[in-house]
Chains A and B, each alone.
Chain A
Amino acid sequence: MDREKRNHLIRIAAAIAVVYGVILILEFTLRPTSILFTVLRKGAIYSLVAVSMNLLNGFTGLFSLGQAGFMLIGAYTYAILTMPVSVKQSERVYKYYECIVGFDTGSLIGLIAAGLMAAFFAFLIGLPVLRLKSDYLAIATLGFAEIVRAIFQWDVLGPLTNGANLLREYKDLTRIYLPFTDIPFPPTLFVFIVAGVCILLIVLLINSSYGRAFKAIRDDETAAEAMGINLFRHKELSFVISSFFAGISGALLAMFQYTVQAQQFKTMMTYEILLIVVIGGIGSISGSCIASFLYIALSEWWLRGLDMGEFLGIAAPDLFRSGFRRLVFSVIIMVIVLFFSKGLMGDKELSYEHLKQKLSSLRKKRRASA
């Protein structure tokens, strides 16, 4: 039993090491503008936010739709904090306002602050909102995300948020360096390290005593309460932690995009994340990660030809016009939802044993048909 467990851990560690090794090799071999990097970076960022949403929706049973709002708070916090003072005082970014933030921080502090700020807002919002149940909670958090988006574009907050205008020239992925040197940090690797550490922390949380308490609340609130689990405190805890990581992923998204504007963090974004969680499997961390890479690869890369006139070698400029990709994409999602009603992974995690089982069942099927 224990040995099995150790082997399992070793295999996971090896798989993770291989992934990071491949990323590092790609960084030094491929053109930095390669589409693969876009997919990998955005996929990793979406993995993190999908896992954070899964912590709330899949493991604690709280149907919350505030993710985009917390990402926005994280993105703005990061951008405002890490923008160099010289840029803040110049007219390049704050054109119509005088920036009131007179200091700047490193990117690591910026990332953590982004998480903390989102967590702080989550704490305040959670006090009234977490007393609501199911659909009502979803509506309240959705409303919160919309309000945040509106407030961040408000004129009065201009000296802080630059109103409805862009924020840029902060420490984005091209402006990060190895500590104490001028050597640029490999950007994709950076995104993977930050997202990886965060997801690892969430996994550790889920497998701890607190994680079990969350799952107990999901399974049966009355029984959980009777076993001495304080519902409100644990829901609040899950909400705050989930938002902390959503904030960090928002900051990563800001780094990835080079610019931030409150406009982008629409409800659509939350739905995208929810879709990833559902496709991956509610209650499966590895499912969320796989689904987010697939989703990003499909929407940003593989189906791109459908908008450009040529797809899989078929040239049909009349049919494959911009917008056609969305149509095909929705059909694919419908097919996935119809045939994998519990998502790709259900509530299981990807593991060596799981793969082995799948393979052997496939082989059996083939033998039976032969």
Chain B
Amino acid sequence: MKELLRLENVTMQFGGVVAVNNLSMTVGEGEIVALIGPNGAGKTTAFNCITGVYEPTNGKIIYDGNTIIVNHPSGKMKRAYAGYEADMYLSEKTLNPTPDRITELGIARTFQNIRLFRSMTVFQNVLTAMHLRAKENVFSAVLRISWKEERQMEAETEKLLREQGLWELRDENATSLPYGLQRRLEIARALATRPHLLLLDEPAAGMNPQETQELAAFIREIKERYDLTVLMIEHHMDLVMTISDRIYVLDFGSLIAQGHPEEIQSNQRVIDAYLGVAEDV
């Protein structure tokens, strides 16, 4: 299996707090990989490092064979750095692209607390995400010289919305949708950027068991249909255990376990992290 995403020694330190500590992981092409861990374990921080929202303090991220992010502690952080491998990437030129560059490379994401474009309809939300792949420039867009491309973007939006079952709701204001559909719209919007790797940040948050089951089927379906690789953060263990090929477990910023769902289920360290350890008094 080809490796699509690789994190090497990624460390994210805020002041004195090491939120992600020396995280190394890989995601193979076509896999569904889950990143789990108790609250505050650093899962979302890891996501933010991959998508360029944060510059990792140290470490390297490789996507599709190309290094996309490299950094090493510098400036004030040089002395304050409390992680590992401080010198490993000194010789490499730091690379910290903005999130839009990462999206352009084919990594799209959703957010833990849904972030739709408030003032727009369902249709416009998805159409806006098509802007990234549009070839038109300002002049051709304003003077409507590129109206064919605009039409094509609209047609693609329609196709995407129909596939997601959101077409009937196209003229509704995005934030007036029920919660589950807002999540679905956010995924549709991410798909409009034509990603290869989809990062889902707690897609089942706030869903009941019935909706969670539907979501599992939905994630499998879009994975097949759009030929995606999925990396997701999730707390619903039944969802994680049914659909993921592999699981990484974070606790206090560090990787404590990795493996197939069955291995994780019986891993003592994971159980301890989630349930706490009985202390001998």
Contacts and interface: CB of A to CB of B under 8 A. Distances in A.
Given A204-B143, A225-B98, A210 B103 contact: no
Given A205-B142, A210-B141, A220 B115 contact: yes
A209 interface: yes
A212 B120 CA distance: 9
Contacts of B143: 204
A176 interface: no
B118 A220 contact: yes
Contact of A225 (B99, B124, B142, B153): B99
B103 A228 contact: yes
Contacts of B136: 209
Contact of A220 (B117, B129, B141, B142): B117
Interface string B122-150: 00100111111010101001111000001
Contact of B111 (A219, A223, A224, A347): A223
Contacts of B134: 209
Interface in B71-122: 98-101, 103-104, 108-109, 111, 115-120
A219 B100 contact: no
A247 B9 CA distance: 52
B75 to A, nearest CB: 19
A347 B53 contact: no
A264 interface: no
Given A204-B142, A212-B128, A222 B150 contact: no
Contacts, number: 103
B51 interface: yes
Contact of B119 (A219, A224, A225): A219
A237 B138 contact: yes
A42 interface: no
Interface residues of B, number: 37
A200 B20 CA distance: 51
Contacts of A226: 51, 53, 99-100, 103, 108-109, 111, 115, 190
Interface of B: 51, 53, 98-101, 103-104, 108-109, 111, 115-120, 124, 127-132, 134, 136, 138, 141-144, 150, 153, 189-190, 192-193
Given A227-B131, A237-B138, 17 more contacts: A201-B142, A209-B134, A209-B141, A210-B131, A212-B124, A215-B128, A222-B99, A223-B116, A223-B117, A225-B98, A225-B100, A227-B100, A227-B103, A227-B129, A230-B100, A230-B101, A231-B100
10 contacts: A208-B141, A208-B144, A208-B150, A209-B150, A210-B138, A212-B120, A215-B120, A216-B120, A225-B98, A231-B98
Interface of A: 201, 204-205, 208-210, 212-213, 215-216, 218-220, 222-232, 237, 241, 283, 347
